[in-house]
Amino acid sequence: MDRSLLTLTAFAAQLFLACAAPGAAAQTPASSGADASHDHASMAGHNMASMASMAKSDMTSALGRYSMSREGSGTSWQPDATPMGGLHVRQGEWSVMARGLVNAIYDKQTGPRGDDQAFTQSMAMLMGNRPLGPGTLGLRAMVSLDPTMGKSGYPLLFQTGETADGATPLVDRQHPHDFFMELAASYSAKLGSDGAAFAYFGLPGEPALGPNAFMHRFSGMRIPEAPLTHHWLDSTHITFGVATLGASKGPVQIEASWFNGREPDSARWNIETRPFDSWSARLSYNPLPELSMQVSYGDLKSPEQLEPATRVKRTTASISHHRATGSGNWATTLAYGRNQKSGPGHEVSEPGWLLESTYVMRDTHTFFARAERVRNGELFAEGQPLHGQEFDIRKLSVGYIHDVASTGPVKWGIGGLVGFIKTPSQLDPSYGSSPRSYMLFVQGRL
Ligand SMILES: [Cu+2]
């Protein structure tokens, strides 16, 4: 176990290097040799084009009998029509896919509670599967250098969730993601003519709760701002300890997870362990290649370190649409989440909505927009006059990325976004009358 963990970590580290020095990328999949007997020299002879053009139908999912293009974050689904980004190689019995994203961002949030900061955000992922016995073994590793942005993450007005110091909650800032975002293994076996059953274990991993997480779904992955609905929909994407059982037949998948419901703590470089105290269940349905939908429910016993007595029951529903045309790709996600929080002396039910869309034209121009509405009761600390009150926050972010260069398999773009925020006027003294979010960024994608 330790050894495979180390290997997975090494894979991911290589991918980071590959992004930084793209010339080396061609060797990444080869040297990730799960098959030690493989002849590296012959691999080096392959060029990027032949790797990238490997037939989509060759890549089957680790979890079921459908194309790998249906696989979202964790065990979630996305529309089958979603293009598979990244690098794909077949090595021996292994099908391997690598992908990564890095943003160098200048961020300015306006108003009295605003701030500005320059930082980088990144994610590198390696996944592979191979036949084993009667079924398929899958391995996934995903890492992020987000911890380098500092414990308190980056400025993002009206964002709440997690902590930087273990003592006070983060408000108006997005927490950094942990270095280990996913280290997971799965095994699936065929069931009938078009079905499969699987088991998935991650430390960390993602339980069957919520839509495909924002940095993985096509409609949101290029947007450098975290959604305000993160803690309504997909904040469990890094869960330190999760086991999921699922089954799929044709267009339908049903899953249940048992997991450690506590959010990651402020130590971002480590692996955390804690007993499994929470559960979730999800039903996914892909009726057409262009469509994916899910409903899910999770009972998170004690997600917040600073309020351990608060239990959160989360309900989510989402629809994702992907349309691939001759000149581009257009992906849209509509999602709803509700957190019912109960603790000593308080009980609240907070809804959140998200509508997000990204259009990539001729592989060069990316247009994106994200509209959200959340009811948030965590904007003011204890002792402040508005503490405990809930506010409806509406935000619309629009942006554009222009791809300017590519080095090997890595594409580089420059982009910008503006977020317009509407709040009840009661918040004006704290936030100003029309708070805005601005970001300028350079984005590298593998
Ligand atoms: Cu997150």
What pLDDT does 57 receive?
Answer: 45
What pLDDT does 85 receive?
Answer: 82
Rounded distance from Cα 237 to ligand 1 centre (Å): 6
∠380-207-184 over CA atoms, to 5°? 120
Rounded distance from Cα 176 to ligand 1 centre (Å): 8
What pLDDT does 76 receive?
Answer: 97
For 322-354, the pLDDT digits (tens) are 999 888 999 999 999 999 999 988 899 999 999
Rounded distance from Cα 317 to ligand 1 centre (Å): 18
Rounded distance from Cα 50 to ligand 1 centre (Å): 34
Rounded distance from Cα 256 to ligand 1 centre (Å): 21
Question: Residue 354 corresponds to which amino acid?
Answer: L
Rounded distance from Cα 65 to ligand 1 centre (Å): 29
Per-residue tokens: 386: 């508005």
Share of the chain above pLDDT 70, in %: 87
What pLDDT does 335 receive?
Answer: 98
Share of the chain above pLDDT 90, in %: 73
Rounded distance from Cα 37 to ligand 1 centre (Å): 38
For 164-209, the pLDDT digits (tens) are 888 888 999 999 999 999 999 999 999 988 999 999 999 999 999 9
Residue 56's CATH number: 2.40.160.10
Rounded distance from Cα 225 to ligand 1 centre (Å): 11
Rounded distance from Cα 188 to ligand 1 centre (Å): 27
3-state secondary structure at position 20: helix
Rounded distance from Cα 268 to ligand 1 centre (Å): 12
What pLDDT does 84 receive?
Answer: 84
> In sequence order, which residues have a C-beta less than 8 Å from that of residue 409 and are 6 or more positions away?
22, 25, 26, 48, 52, 87, 446
For 147-162, the pLDDT digits (tens) are 998 889 999 999 998 8
Higher pLDDT, 55 or 217: 217
Mean pLDDT along residues 109-116: 95
In this prediction the pTM is 0.85
> In sequence order, which residues have a C-beta less than 8 Å from that of residue 316 and are 6 or more positions away?
209, 210, 211, 232, 233, 294, 295, 296, 297, 335, 336, 337, 338
What pLDDT does 163 receive?
Answer: 86
Domain span including residue 291: 2-445
Rounded distance from Cα 153 to ligand 1 centre (Å): 11
Question: Residue 232 corresponds to which amino acid?
Answer: W
Rounded distance from Cα 205 to ligand 1 centre (Å): 12
Question: Does residue 34 surpass a pLDDT of 80?
Answer: no
For 299-311, the pLDDT digits (tens) are 999 998 888 999 9
Q: Is the dihedral of CA 323, 328, 329, 330 positive or negative?
A: negative
> In sequence order, which residues have a C-beta less than 8 Å from that of residue 306 and are 6 or more positions away?
163, 166, 167, 168, 169
For 258-296, the pLDDT digits (tens) are 999 999 888 899 889 999 999 999 999 999 999 999 999
Rounded distance from Cα 253 to ligand 1 centre (Å): 24
Total domains in the chain come to 1
Mean pLDDT along residues 305-321: 95
